[in-house]
């Protein structure tokens, strides 16, 4: 277990564990985002670590849809592909993920900086990048297994 994982695990679990780095509205935003991943239906939410969607959803989506994007480019004879137009023909849940990718990345960046500052860690790039990745994994698991996702699902 790395130092970052230990520090994140040491956050008081009665206060939300890694979720303590997020405000209540941010927790709900993450839960809504994860629910859209579930609705997209491309992955098994339990066995697949989908935390990269929390940190860079646009790149992950472009990678996942690379073949479809190339076919679209061939059909439209347009390169580079206008991704906004391409996304118009995608499922609503995928459009939501695409549209809210930067919002989620910003949210995770703020959470990471809060964590690093509260733990009095160095603000160097390596520390921030390591914490960013590990915190995203832990927040993903916490939202997936906690009450936030259930609340979002009950409001649908």
Report pLDDT for 4: 56
The per-residue DSSP string of the chain comes to --HHHHHHHHS-GGGTGGGGGS-HHHHHHHHHHHHHHHHH-SS-TTTS--THHHHHHHHHHHHHTHHHHHHHHHHHT-SS--HHHHHHTS-HHHHHHHHTHHHHHHHHHHHHHHHHHHTT---SHHHHHHHHHHHHHHHHHHHHHSHHHHHHHHT-
Report pLDDT for 141: 87
User: Predicted confidence band at 153 (pLDDT cuts at 50, 70, 90)?
Assistant: confident
The pTM of this model reads: 0.85
Report pLDDT for 31: 92
pLDDT tens string 114-145 = 988 888 888 899 999 999 999 999 899 888 88
Lowest mean pLDDT among 18-22, 41-45, 65-69, 99-103: 18-22
pLDDT(7) > 90 = no
pLDDT tens string 86-95 = 999 999 999 9
Report pLDDT for 151: 82
pLDDT top residue among 53 and 119 = 53
- Mean pLDDT, the chain, as a whole number? 88
């Amino acid at each position: 277990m790395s130092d970052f994982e230990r520090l994140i695990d040491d956050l008081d679990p009665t206060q939300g564990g890694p979720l303590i780095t997020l405000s209540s509205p941010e927790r709900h935003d993450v839960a809504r985002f994860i629910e859209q991943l579930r609705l997209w239906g491309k992955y098994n939410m339990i066995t697949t670590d989908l935390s990269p969607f929390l940190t860079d959803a646009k790149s992950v989506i472009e990678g996942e849809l690379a073949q479809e994007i190339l076919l679209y480019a061939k059909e439209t004879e347009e390169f580079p592909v206008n991704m906004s137009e391409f996304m118009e023909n995608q499922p609503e849940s995928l459009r939501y993920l695409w549209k809210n990718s930067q919002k989620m990345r910003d949210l995770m960046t703020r959470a990471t900086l809060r964590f690093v500052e509260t733990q009095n860690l160095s603000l160097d790039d390596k520390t921030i990048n390591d914490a960013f990745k590990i915190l995203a994994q832990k927040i993903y698991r916490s939202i997936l297994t906690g009450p936030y996702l259930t609340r979002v699902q009950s409001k649908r």
